[in-house]
């Protein structure tokens, strides 16, 4: 029997409190972040994949599992599959009238997501942060932020290994007079800004705050503002990759910018 996965835990919490919107959002967030294994008809060739489609009285579904062992258990043997992130898979199948069967017959988190749930999740994940220009004038410790948002941020940043060294969360007043909260990343890896901004945007979306906003900025440790951030901000340390792990690489299909093509 395989051990319980993070997806199993959030699914169990959601099932135990079906009226709790925050727990349901946490399940969808974990699904988007998870590495999934999509069952295929045949081995993928070039950038084209041919997923197995299962027709039921409730509609058509693709099948994915959050462990290779679970896919093998369902298929009762070796079957071709594609490993990719949940957000990439959801983006690929949205709008096509197909649902997603997750961990069917193999785990307590087995779930059928109908096409409308797939489309809703894809739309939520597609919301991009807006770019603005303003200069911080005053910084202060963060205040009044719900615990759900802090937990969501902590979880998201834990997945951003090597994208930045750390981040500080502060209350901020800008030169324009606008006030809010700022998550400032320090020593960001070149090209990682978009991924980090999207991660923060998703944390906000899945925290259940209908009118929440959180600004994101990027600084070097040598910038004068970095010392002010360290004095006033709530610090988040991002995990760093092992420099000796030369085999580390992204999972196939994990980059939403270059998803495989479904046949």
pLDDT digits (tens, 9 = 90+) for 122-132: 999 987 777 88
> For residue 164, what are the domain limits?
136-237
| 118-158 pLDDT tens trace | 999 999 998 777 788 889 999 999 998 888 889 889 989 99
Q: Do 175 and 151 reside in the same domain of the chain? A: yes
Q: Which helix (H) or strand (E) holds 6?
A: helix 6-16
> How many Cα atoms sit within 13 Å of 27 on the Cβ side?
21
Sign of the CA dihedral 91, 93, 98, 102?
A: negative
Across the range 188-196, mean pLDDT stands at 94
The structure's pTM equals: 0.79
Q: Which residues does residue 173 pair with via DSSP β-bridges, in sequence order? A: 138, 179
The whole-chain average pLDDT of the chain stands at 88
Q: Do 117 and 61 reside in the same domain of the chain? A: yes
Q: Do 18 and 119 reside in the same domain of the chain? A: yes
256 in a domain, yes or no? no
Q: Which of 10-24, 44-58, 134-148, 167-181 has the lowest mean pLDDT?
A: 44-58
Q: Is the pLDDT of residue 207 over 70?
A: yes
Q: Do 122 and 11 reside in the same domain of the chain? A: yes
Q: How far is it, in rounded angstroms, from Cα 90 to Cα 34?
A: 11
Q: How many domains does the chain have?
A: 2
Domain boundary residue among 126, 154, 176? Answer: 126
Across the range 70-89, mean pLDDT stands at 91
Q: DSSP assignment, residue 250? A: P
Q: Do 185 and 204 reside in the same domain of the chain? A: yes
Q: Do 10 and 108 reside in the same domain of the chain? A: yes
């Amino acid at each position: 029997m395989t051990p319980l996965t993070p997806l199993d835990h959030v699914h169990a919490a959601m099932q135990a409190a079906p009226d709790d919107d925050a727990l349901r959002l946490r399940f969808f967030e974990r699904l988007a972040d998870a590495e999934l294994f999509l069952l295929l008809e045949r081995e993928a060739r070039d950038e084209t994949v041919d997923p197995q489609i299962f027709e039921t009285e409730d509609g058509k579904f693709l099948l994915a599992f959050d462990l290779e062992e679970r896919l093998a258990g369902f298929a009762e043997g070796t079957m071709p599959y594609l490993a990719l992130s949940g957000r990439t898979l959801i983006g690929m199948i949205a709008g096509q009238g197909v649902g997603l069967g997750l961990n069917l017959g193999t785990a307590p988190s087995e779930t059928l997501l109908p096409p409308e749930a797939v489309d809703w999740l894809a739309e939520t994940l597609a919301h991009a942060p807006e770019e603005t220009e303003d200069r911080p004038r005053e910084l202060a410790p963060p205040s009044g932020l719900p615990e759900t948002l802090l937990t969501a941020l902590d979880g998201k940043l834990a997945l951003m290994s090597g994208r930045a060294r750390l981040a500080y969360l502060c209350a901020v007043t800008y030169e324009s007079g606008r006030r809010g909260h700022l998550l400032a990343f320090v020593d960001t890896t070149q090209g990682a800004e978009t991924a980090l901004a999207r991660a923060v945007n998703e944390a906000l979306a899945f925290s259940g705050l209908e009118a929440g906003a959180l600004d994101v900025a990027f600084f070097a440790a040598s910038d004068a503002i970095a010392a002010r951030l360290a004095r006033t901000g709530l610090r988040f340390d991002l995990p760093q990759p092992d420099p000796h792990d030369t085999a580390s690489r992204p999972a196939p299909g994990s980059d939403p910018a270059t998803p495989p093509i479904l046949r």
